[in-house]
């Protein structure tokens, strides 16, 4: 599956309809982004069950700002509408494949429980 272009118009729909989305925040003038593009494209062809998306930070400044993207490329992995990874920097192919494997192996029920626990702890700390 080829990568899809995400915009503020299709972003929420894409994340709602797909439980595993990788997002590459990039710009055409960015050298590291150009180096990472073929690695990302190759991974998208190998993992056809996942959604690989790209956000052009120049065209979609509002979307990039909403995720506080400070540096590009930034790779984000979203599972079940939860960001489980977000790091700037172009990954080599082996690191991207390892990240995808780790993201696949993650127990999302445990992740959701931990998020709920942290939110509850934050709420009780705020009340004191």
CB-count burial class (<10 Å; 0-12, 13-18, 19+) for 66: exposed
Q: Inform me whether the pLDDT recorded for 65 exceeds 80.
A: yes
21, 23, 30, 90: the catalytic one is 30
**Confidence band, pLDDT 50/70/90 cuts, at residue 107:** confident
**Model confidence pLDDT, tens digit, residues 5-41:** 999 999 999 999 999 999 999 999 999 999 999 999 9
Structural domains of the chain ordered from first start: 4-127 (3.40.30.10)
What is d(CA 2, CA 126) in angstroms, rounded to the nearest whole number?
Answer: 45
- Total Cβ atoms within 10 A of residue 50: 20
42-51, 75-84, 114-123: least confidently modelled range: 114-123
Give residue 11's region: left, alpha or beta (phi > 0; psi -120 to 50).
alpha
Q: Is 53 a catalytic residue?
A: no
Share of the chain above pLDDT 70, in %: 95
The pLDDT assigned to 116 comes to 85
Q: Would you place residue 122 in the very low, low, confident or very high pLDDT band (cuts 50, 70, 90)? A: confident
Contact 97, 43 (CB under 8 A): yes
pLDDT in the model for residue 108: 84
108 assigned to active site: no
Catalytic residue, from 22, 23, 33, 53: name it: 33
């Amino acid at each position: 599956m080829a990568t899809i272009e995400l915009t503020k118009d299709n972003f929420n729909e894409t994340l709602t309809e797909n439980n595993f989305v990788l997002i590459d925040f990039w710009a055409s003038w960015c050298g590291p982004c150009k180096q990472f593009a073929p690695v990302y494209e190759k991974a998208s062809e190998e993992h056809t069950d996942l959604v690989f998306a790209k956000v052009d930070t120049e065209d979609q400044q509002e979307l990039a700002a909403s995720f506080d993207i400070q540096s590009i490329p930034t790779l984000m992995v979203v599972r079940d509408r939860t960001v489980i990874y977000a790091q700037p920097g172009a990954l080599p192919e082996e690191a991207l494949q390892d990240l995808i494997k780790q993201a696949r192996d993650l127990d999302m029920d445990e992740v959701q429980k931990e998020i709920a626990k942290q939110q509850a702890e934050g709420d009780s700390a705020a009340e004191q």
